[in-house]
Structure 1
């Protein structure tokens, strides 16, 4: 199944895995230690994050460490940014509207 970044971050466990890995690379056992779920369940979440390109595995001897690929999160950032601009325009319009109402309602001195 083809997955995308938005499917990956839709799950709170996967978002928390990304948060953990943002601080430092961890092996699967270290990631699993932070959750009250089985290691196979964590492995499934990690697999999805790998498929979506949000994390990569680096081998160090016999250990496998997960690292975040932050550049892939730019896709999410760009999508959110378009709505940020939309809401900024709406809030600016609301501020002007409220200022106009306040001017009309305030008694003149």
Structure 2
């Protein structure tokens, strides 16, 4: 598997992390307030929000990894399509109406007659 970075990719900066961390912190403070109103000043005031922060942080980081993987797949697919086009292979377009595959040089679907961009 090729793990080299493409020249167009970049890492996630702290500015992009701020909204996610702000939401996690807000959820923890709200949880602390709810626990304080229910049980008063106990050890659960710290433990329950800590569990909430951990779960939200895990979900947030997993979602970021998922978005990176989707972005890589889109880049890879675009690269493969450009490579096939440069080699002279016939690209296939999918009709938005009937989902039939059509050659890239056609303007209408062979199956249903729908106009293809």
Q: Which has the higher strand share?
A: 1
| Fold shared per TM-score above 0.5 | no
| Larger Cα-atom Rg | 2
Larger RCO, structure (CA 8 Å, separation 6 or more): 1
Query: What TM-score does the superposition give when structure 1 sets the normalisation length?
Result: 0.31
Query: What TM-score does the superposition give when structure 2 sets the normalisation length?
Result: 0.29
